[in-house]
Amino acid sequence: MSGFKNQRFRARLGFALRGLAHALRSEASLKLQALAGAAALLVLLVLRPPAVWWALVFLASALVMAAELLNTAIEHLADLLHPQHSPGIRLVKDCAAAGVLVAVLGALGVAAALLVHLLSGAP
């Protein structure tokens, strides 16, 4: 895959979709995040908030999924390059997991702000 950057868009899209499909099949945490995103979509469909809230929820959900995918990639690469226990690799994995945590906390902040908005009766 040395010529990845020089591939046509369709081929690069295929690589990305293959990676997403693999991660969704193999990573329990990514499945959970995808379910949470689907639940958020259902909430939006039921509550019908203003468009800006749709954008914020979609953006927050996408950031969580992206962070989870990057975490998965980092973990797989670290395990491949250094299969034995290593404090340095453990720190790399912990930092990648922390990135997911930060994204999730941001998404929860969006959810809390939406709840406050809806409870305040604002348009």
- In DSSP notation, 66-77 reads HHHHHHHHHHHH
Q: Residue 23, Cβ neighbours under 10 Å: how many?
A: 20
Contact assessment for residue 49 and residue 113, using Cβ atoms and an 8 Å cutoff: no
Distances (CA, A) of 81 to 44, 78, 88, 105: 42, 5, 12, 30
Q: Which pLDDT value is given to residue 3?
A: 62
pLDDT in tens, the chain (123 residues): 456 678 899 999 999 999 999 999 999 999 999 999 999 999 999 999 999 999 999 999 999 999 999 999 999 999 999 989 899 999 999 999 999 999 999 999 999 999 999 999 877
Alpha-carbon distance 60 to 67, whole Å? 11
Q: Which pLDDT value is given to residue 6?
A: 81
Local structure of residue 98 (DSSP, 8 states) = H
User: Would you state the CATH architecture of domain 28-119?
Assistant: Orthogonal Bundle (1.10)
User: Global pTM?
Assistant: 0.87
Domain range annotation of the chain: 28-119
Radius of gyration of the chain (CA): 18
- How long a stretch of residues is the chain? 123
Alpha-carbon distance 41 to 53, whole Å? 11
Alpha-carbon distance 17 to 54, whole Å? 24
